Chain A
Amino acid sequence: MATVEKTLILVNKVGLHARPAALFVQTAARFQASVRVVCNGRQADAKRILPVLQLGAEQGSVLRLFAEGPDADEAINALTRLVQERFGDPE
């Protein structure tokens, strides 16, 4: 199965911490596809909170997403929207 790939820049102020990280993991977990996220030379399973927090992704960090599975496109689209909408935060 093809891997769907997407590169994103983290635009929200606090980066992938606490609440945004929780939303990211909860969004990834809605899909069957496996999703990996690479940032700062580290790789994490997007459905696991601890590895996602340990990426240390901050505002301006580049996130590379790799999804594989029947709904990989939908998973990437949902995560892209979340990041671009700053996880619902005003800044």
Chain B
Amino acid sequence: MAVGLVIVSHSARLAEGVVELAAQMTHGAVRLAAAGGMDDGGIGTSLARVTQAIASADSGDGVVALIDLGSAALIAEMALESLDAEQRAHVRLSGGPLVEGAILAAVEASVGSPLDEVLATAESARSLEKLKR
């Protein structure tokens, strides 16, 4: 299939919105999973939601998780640690920008690129200028 993406955000709606945008680029070719908010729907990041999202995004080719801010990174790292060694070996965390990173990584994944190329593309989204100067 293709490398999957997990969007980790403090807000369920933000995570779902990023998934919605990225899905516009991939037409079902890439598994995209939102892991936003706490288990009760409040603002925060939930270890259970991140772990579930990783499982649902993984089709066997690996997963790149993108994160919004601060403690989302901590929760994502904890989720990674909770996986067994074999699963963990094909999950990567990206510190790239959430929106541009997700969209670029989704396109990269959609053409069948391997895990580390999808990760590199998510990271490279930092260099994308929003405004012409």
What residues of chain A have their CB less than 8 Å away from a CB belonging to chain B?
A: 18-19, 21-22, 25-26, 29, 47-50, 53-54, 56
Contacts and interface: CB of A to CB of B under 8 A. Distances in A.
B108 interface: yes
B104 A49 contact: yes
B85 interface: no
Interface of B: 24-26, 103-104, 107-108, 110-112, 121, 124-125, 127-128, 132
Contacts of B111: 25-26, 29, 47
Q: Which of B103, B112, B121 has the most CB of A within 10 A?
A: B103
Contacts of A29: 111-112
A50 B104 contact: yes
Interface of B is mostly: helix
A56 B129 CA distance: 10
Nearest to B108: A49
Nearest to B26: A22
Given A29-B112, A49-B121, A22 B107 contact: yes
Contacts, number: 35
B128 A50 contact: yes
Contacts of A19: 24-25
B107 A26 contact: yes
Contacts of B104: 49-50, 53
Given A48-B121, A50-B128, 19 more contacts: A18-B103, A19-B25, A22-B25, A22-B26, A22-B103, A22-B107, A25-B107, A26-B107, A26-B111, A29-B111, A49-B108, A49-B121, A50-B104, A50-B121, A50-B125, A50-B127, A53-B104, A53-B128, A56-B132
Given A26-B111, A29-B112, A54 B103 contact: no
Contacts of B125: 50
